[in-house]
């Protein structure tokens, strides 16, 4: 079986990047783990640098040992280099316009008068884990740190839309933040949701992360939270909501962030899909967080393997662990379930008795039976990665 953790490691060390890419004929802008630096940006702890302009920073895995990801450790991803670096709440407004009875403009004070909603939800970039794609694909070469589990506080999008009053013929809702393209030819980051999705109870305009203001880099003062769906829809520094009567022609909906239109969102590796749809719900995943891949352990000494598991809005029902490369599987103990959008922690006590190299695998299944494939599914944009990882732990 191809194992992503191990094969990528060997791939980097032994095969070499150029050889592998020559085989596929493409050269993505690759930044591998060994080449990454830890950097500190405003309001952030040391994160792994992907690009600095625009900032793309990834969370070191050690932060996922906690159920909740601290604000200063949450990953950062912007598409456009002209990002907001300060916002004056005295003049800032959230504008709702388009096909509505009454366009409205809300201050932070106005926003906070709507009923407050608080829940924990995983935020994950659609391209999280993209660096493990084989054959490799273009796009940010994320490891698994483009995700986090955060308690969001805010107000229902639906309440705001109803305040403005939806007119008949409304079809979708378009969201825009304060970030801008540097070059006029680059399309602004506009994302949209179909109207019925936008009106779902759980979608909020969030002004709090873990009980505090949002860091600037994570979208201060407010961002959209679409729990269960990939973070591309979670528009940051949200300032403009437009109700439309027809689907927008935005580049970020029509061309980017699309997946093959089939049940797996995948195609034969190296081929192009015939038809695509906008990316949406997250796939089910489980990750080993501690001890990290490649760790050395002492034989006879008890250790507790731990990690996280989550899925696109359905609670995790079961996590199975194998320490022998997939021959035998046993259930892990699950931590507290704090809601269907949160990740759950899993724990697996283990006492290896014989020295050697152990292949640890983890597999989660959610409450509607969605699980993880043994072999990674492939699509040209490097989205939806969720195969069962295979980790190497060395017992001496
Ligand atoms: N305004 C704005 N919002 C945005 C983006 C962006 O470029 N601009 N990127 C999206 C994508 S693709 C991701 S993965 C998340 C990243 O959120 P974070 O930086 O808070 O981790 O923001 C989303 N919202
Ligand atoms: Mo993303």
Residue that the structure tokens 């061309």 belong to: 255
Instruction: Dump pLDDT digits (tens) for 37-93.
Output: 999 999 999 999 999 999 999 999 999 999 999 999 999 999 999 999 999 999 999
C-beta 237 within 6 A of ligand 1: yes
By the CB criterion, residues less than 5 angstroms from ion ligand 2 are: 125, 232
**What is the number of the ligand closest to the CA of 79?**
1
Residue 30 pLDDT: 52
- Residues paired with residue 331 on neighbouring β-strands, in sequence order: 320
41 is a domain residue: no
Q: How far is the CA of 116 from the centre of ligand 2 (A)?
A: 26
What band does 33 get if pLDDT is binned at 50, 70 and 90?
low
Q: Which of 214, 245, 278 is the last residue of a domain?
A: 278
> Do 217 and 298 belong to one domain?
no
Range of the domain at 273: 94-126+146-278
d(CA 241, CA 190): 10
> Do 298 and 386 belong to one domain?
yes
What band does 268 get if pLDDT is binned at 50, 70 and 90?
very high
**What is the number of the ligand closest to the CA of 55?**
1
Residue 288 pLDDT: 98
Residue 144 pLDDT: 97
pTM of the model: 0.92
Instruction: Dump pLDDT digits (tens) for 128-173.
Output: 999 999 999 999 999 999 999 999 999 999 999 999 999 999 999 9
C-beta 389 within 6 A of ligand 1: no
> Do 356 and 387 belong to one domain?
yes
Residue 249 pLDDT: 76
**What SS3 state is found at 233?**
helix
341 is a domain residue: yes
Mean predicted lDDT score pLDDT of the chain: 92
Q: How far is the CA of 217 from the centre of ligand 1 (A)?
A: 9
- Answer left, alpha or beta for residue 209, where phi above 0 means left and psi between -120 and 50 means alpha: beta
C-beta 219 within 6 A of ligand 1: yes
**What is the number of the ligand closest to the CA of 127?**
2
Residue 25 pLDDT > 60: no
Residue 7 pLDDT > 50: no
14 is a domain residue: no
Residue 22 pLDDT > 60: no
C-beta 76 within 6 A of ligand 1: yes
Q: Which of 245, 263, 278 is the last residue of a domain?
A: 278
Judged on CB neighbours under 10 Å (0-12, 13-18, 19+), 388 is buried
What band does 34 get if pLDDT is binned at 50, 70 and 90?
low
Distances in Å between the Cα of 157 and the Cα atoms of 74, 189, 224 are 23, 19, 8
> Do 313 and 270 belong to one domain?
no
């Amino acid at each position: 079986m191809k194992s992503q953790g191990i094969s990528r490691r060997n791939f980097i060390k032994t095969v070499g990047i150029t050889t592998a890419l020559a085989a596929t004929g493409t050269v993505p802008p690759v930044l591998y783990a060994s080449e990454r630096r830890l950097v500190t940006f405003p309001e952030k702890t040391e994160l792994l640098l992907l690009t600095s302009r625009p900032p793309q920073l990834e969370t070191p895995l050690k932060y996922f040992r906690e159920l909740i990801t601290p604000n200063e450790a949450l990953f950062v991803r912007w598409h456009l280099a002209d990002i907001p670096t300060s916002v004056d709440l005295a003049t800032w407004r959230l504008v709702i316009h388009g096909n509505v009875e009454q366009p409205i403009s809300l201050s932070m004070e106005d926003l906070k008068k709507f009923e407050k909603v608080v829940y924990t939800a995983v935020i994950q970039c659609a391209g999280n884990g993209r660096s493990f794609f084989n054959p490799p694909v273009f796009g940010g070469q994320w490891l698994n740190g483009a995700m986090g589990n955060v308690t969001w506080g805010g107000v229902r999008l639906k309440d705001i839309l109803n305040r403005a009053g939806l007119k008949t013929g409304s079809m979708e809702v378009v969201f825009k933040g304060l970030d801008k393209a540097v070059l006029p030819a680059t399309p602004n980051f506009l994302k949209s949701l179909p109207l019925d999705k936008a009106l779902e109870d759980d979608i909020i305009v969030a002004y709090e992360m873990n009980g505090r203001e949002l860091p600037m880099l994570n979208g201060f003062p407010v961002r959209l939270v679409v729990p269960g769906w990939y973070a591309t829809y979670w528009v940051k520094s949200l300032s403009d909501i437009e109700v439309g009567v027809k689907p927008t022609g935005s580049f970020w909906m029509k061309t980017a962030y699309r997946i093959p239109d089939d049940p797996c969102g995948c195609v034969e590796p190296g081929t192009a899909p015939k038809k695509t749809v906008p990316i949406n719900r997250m796939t089910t995943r489980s990750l080993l967080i501690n001890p990290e891949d490649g760790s050395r352990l002492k034989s006879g000494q008890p250790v507790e393997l731990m990690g996280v598991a989550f899925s696109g809005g359905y609670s995790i029902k079961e996590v199975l662990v194998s320490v022998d490369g997939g021959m035998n599987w046993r259930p892990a103990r699950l931590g507290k379930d704090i809601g269907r959008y949160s990740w759950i922690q899993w724990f697996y006590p283990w006492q290896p008795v014989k020295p050697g190299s152990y292949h640890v695998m983890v597999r989660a299944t959610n409450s509607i039976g969605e699980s993880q494939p043994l072999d990674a599914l492939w699509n040209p944009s490097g989205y939806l990665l969720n195969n069962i990882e295979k980790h190497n732990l060395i017992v001496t």
